[in-house]
Structure 1
Amino acid sequence: MIVTVFSTKSYDRTFLEPAAGTAHSLKFVESRLTQETAILARGSKAVCVFVNDQVDAAVLKVFKELGIEIVALRSAGFNNVDLVAAKKLGIAVARVPAYSPEAVSEHAVALIMALDRNIHRAYARVREGNFALEGLLGFNLHGRTVGIVGTGRVGTSLAKIMLGFGCKVIAYDVMANEGCAAMGVTYTTLENLLGQADIVSLHCPLTDETRHLIDAAAIGRMKHGAMLINTSRGGMIDTAAVIQGLKSGAIGHLGLDVYEEEDDLFFEDLSSAVIQDDVFERLLMFSNVLVTGHQGFFTKEALSAIAATTMANLSTFEASGQATYQLAA
C-alpha cells in the first residue's frame, strides 16, 4: 500500500520506515495537511496524519477524489478529524488508542516537579552565576492532594506515580476506573475535585463536552493557588481565563504541554521568527508558567508503539477492509 505521511519530521522516518518494512511504501511530506496540501496524496491509497493536521470535510472530499481509502492517525486523539464526513464519504479512519501511557504521565510529573521546585528558574539562574535561593521555595508533594480529570490509561498511570509520592489522589471521570479505585483513588465530582486539589492534571480527550472544561467558572472553584497541568489537548483550557487566573493568583503554577492555538507554533523551529500569537507570548511572561511543545509522547518506547500500531492498522485494513482500531462516526 502506498501511504502519504503528512507533517513528517526526521523522527517519523526513523520509526515509521522500519515498522512499515516491505508491507507499505511510505511517501513522506513535510507539509502540514490542509485543503491546499491534500493534493500531495495523489497516487496513494492511504494517508498518515498527526495531531495538528486538518482532516475536515473539505480535505476528506479531496481525498475521496484522489481515491484515498483510509486515514491513519499516528495519535490517540482525533478531534482534528470530521468523522461524520469521513463516514459519509466512505473513508475509514484509524487511530492509536494506546501507545505508552507512561510517556505522557511521566511528562506530567516532570512538569509538576519542575514547577514545584522552580527547576526552570534555578537552571537559568545558575548558568548566570546566581546561586541565591530567594524566590525558589517549593513544597513537598508528600501529603498533597492531586486531582486527576480523566482516568483512562494515562490518568491511571499518573495516579499510580502520585500515590507513590505519598499524595492523596482524587479523580473525576464520567465512568469510574475500577483499577484506579482499587489503588486507593477516590472518585468525586468535578466541582469537589477543583475545590480540594492542590494539583489538577487533565487527561481527557477533547470533545464538545470537554472543550474549555477549565474556564473562568472552573478556575473560580479551584483551590486558591493550585497548580494546573495539561498534557491532553489545548482546547481543554480557556487560555484567556487561565491568564486572568494567573494574574489574580488563583492559579499558582501552570504547566502546559499543549496549547489551544498550537497549530501554527508547535513542532516547528520558530527561534528566528517573531511569534505573532500575543496570548501565547503573554503566557510565557509568567515565571510560574512552564510550557513544552507537545512532547509528552516523545519517547523511544512511545514512538515505536505508535509506528507499529499505525502500520498494523494499515495492514489490517488492506487485508480485510477494516483497521484494528478503526473509528466510526
Structure 2
Amino acid sequence: MKKLAFFDAKPYDKIWFDQLKESYNFKIKYFENKLNEDTAAMAAGSDGVVAFVNDTVDAPVIETLYKQGIRILALRSAGYNNVDFKAAYNKIHVVRVPAYSPYAVAEHAMALLLTLNRKIHRAYNRTRDYNFSLNGLTGFDLHGKTIGVVGTGKIGQVFIDICRGFGLQVLAYDPFPVEGKQIEYVSLSELCSKADIISLHCPLTKDTHHMINSQTLSQMRDGVVIVNTSRGALIDSEALLEAIKSKKVGAAGLDVYEEESELFFEDFSNTIIQDDILARLVSMPNVIVTSHQAFLTNEALHNIAETTLKNLKSYFDGEELKNEICYQCDKAPTCEKKHANRCF
C-alpha cells in the first residue's frame, strides 16, 4: 500500500479521498499545513505528495521531496502556476486534474454576476435587519447586453452556453480559438471596448499576467462589470481598485485574488488583515469576494479525488501519465512524452 502526504487538507477534501483511497490501495496522511520550504520535510516516508493550488512547489521544495525519494507530485487542481517545472524536470513527475467540473466554475461565475447585478447580497443584509427598502438595489436586464468572455476552454465554453440562455450577446478572446462552436472571436482591445460585462476564464501565464491593467481598464466601457473565477494575478488588483473608485468599473465579482495564497481557505475573522487592497475591495458594496470556492461542488470534489488517485495509480503501476505536465509541454516543439508516455 503506497503512502501519500496530503497537504493543505480541509474537511471537504477528505470526504471523497477517504471514500476512494482504499479502492486504489493508498494510505493518506493529511496535513493542514500548506506545502512549502518549511513543511516539505513532513512528507518523509511517503511515496507521493498531493498538493493544492496555493501550495508552494518551488525549487527548494522539489529538492527536499526528491532527496526523500519522492518522485511523483499530484496537483488536485487544474492550475499549475505554483510549480517550478524546470526544477522538477528529470526529478519529480507532476500530474494534475485538467477538468473536474466546468459547470461548477461557470455556474459560480454566473452566480457572482447575478448577485452583483441585482444587489442580492445587499438585499440579504437589509432584510435581516427588517429593512425592506428597495432604494439603491436597481439592476439591469442581462438580456441584450454584451458579455466578453476571455478564454474559451471547457469552462469558458460552458459559461458561454449559460450566457446565451440569458440572451446575452457573447464576444470572446482566446489566442487559440475553438472551431465549430459558433463563437465570435475578437481582439482583447475590441472585447474591452464593446463588452458591458467581462468574465475571465483563462490560465495564468506570463502572457496573461495582469492582462486586466490600467491600460485595458481604460479601454472598457464606463460601469463595466468584471468577474474573475480563474486566477487572481490575471488582474492588477491596485489598478482594479482605482477603477472601481473612479466608477470606471461598476462592479466586480472576484473568486480569486493575486495575493490570496496566505489568506484564502483559512479563517481570519478575528484578525486584522494587513492587505490594504483586499480590505478595501471587501469593504465596497459593489464588490463580492469569495474565497476561491467556484470549484466547490460535490460533483467536482468527487472528480478531483478520483482523477488525482487515478493519476497516482498510473504512476506507481508504470502506466502512461495522461495528465502529466512539464515545462516543455507548452513549448514548441512540444513535449512528445517519448519516455513510456511520460515527460521524462
Normalized against structure 1, the TM-score is what?
A: 0.97
* 1:325 partner SS: coil
Matches within 5 A, 1:244-323: 244-320=242-318, 322-323=320-321
Counterpart of 2:146? Answer: 145
- Establish whether residue 122 from structure 1 lines up as the match of residue 120 from structure 2: no
Counterpart of 2:6? Answer: 5
Counterpart of 1:164? Answer: 165
Counterpart of 1:78? Answer: 80
**Per-residue CA distance 1:10-50 (angstroms, 9 max, x = gap):** 11111112222241111111101110100000001110000
Normalized against structure 2, the TM-score is what?
A: 0.93
* 2:181 partner SS: helix
| Counterpart residue type for residue 301 of structure 1 | E
| Counterpart residue type for residue 159 of structure 1 | I
Q: Distance in 2 between matches of 1:215 and 1:112?
A: 21
Q: Distance in 2 between matches of 1:309 and 1:179?
A: 28
- Establish whether residue 99 from structure 1 lines up as the match of residue 83 from structure 2: no
Note the C-alpha offset of 1:175: 1.0
Most deviating of 21-30 and 163-172: 21-30
- Establish whether residue 42 from structure 1 lines up as the match of residue 40 from structure 2: no
> How many equivalent pairs are there?
325
Note the C-alpha offset of 1:165: 0.5
Q: Distance in 1 between matches of 2:285 and 2:78?
A: 31
Change (3 A) 1:260 1:245: same
Most deviating of 270-279 and 246-255: 270-279
Counterpart among 59, 62, 74 of residue 60 in structure 1: 62
Q: Distance in 2 between matches of 1:69 and 1:318?
A: 10
Counterpart of 2:209? Answer: 211
Note the C-alpha offset of 1:321: 5.7
Q: Distance in 1 between matches of 2:320 and 2:95?
A: 9
**Per-residue CA distance 1:119-146 (angstroms, 9 max, x = gap):** 0111001111111111100000100101
Q: Distance in 2 between matches of 1:208 and 1:19?
A: 36
| Counterpart residue type for residue 148 of structure 2 | G
Counterpart of 2:241? Answer: 243
Structure 1, unmatched stretches of 5+, are none
Counterpart of 2:229? Answer: 231
Most deviating of 42-51 and 21-30: 21-30
* 2:106 partner SS: helix
- Cα pair 1:312 1:324 within 8 Å, conserved: no
| Counterpart residue type for residue 140 of structure 1 | D
* 2:251 partner SS: strand
**Per-residue CA distance 1:45-95 (angstroms, 9 max, x = gap):** 11000010000011000011111111100000000001111004x210000
Q: Distance in 1 between matches of 2:22 and 2:55?
A: 25
| Counterpart residue type for residue 233 of structure 1 | R
* 1:71 partner SS: strand
Q: Distance in 1 between matches of 2:290 and 2:46?
A: 34
- Establish whether residue 155 from structure 1 lines up as the match of residue 156 from structure 2: yes
Counterpart of 1:135? Answer: 136
**Per-residue CA distance 1:260-302 (angstroms, 9 max, x = gap):** 0001111011111111111110111211000100000000000
Q: Which has the higher helix share?
A: 1
| Counterpart residue type for residue 230 of structure 1 | N
Q: Distance in 2 between matches of 1:177 and 1:234?
A: 24
* 1:156 partner SS: helix
Structure 2, unmatched stretches of 5+, are 328-344
**Per-residue CA distance 1:238-258 (angstroms, 9 max, x = gap):** 000000100111100100000
**Per-residue CA distance 1:178-205 (angstroms, 9 max, x = gap):** 2432xxx311000000111111000111
* 1:111 partner SS: helix
Q: Distance in 2 between matches of 1:4 and 1:105?
A: 31
* 1:193 partner SS: helix
Please tell me the root mean square deviation across aligned C-alpha atoms, in Å: 0.9
Counterpart of 2:112? Answer: 111
- Cα pair 1:92 1:322 within 8 Å, conserved: no
**Per-residue CA distance 1:204-238 (angstroms, 9 max, x = gap):** 11111111010000100111111000000001000
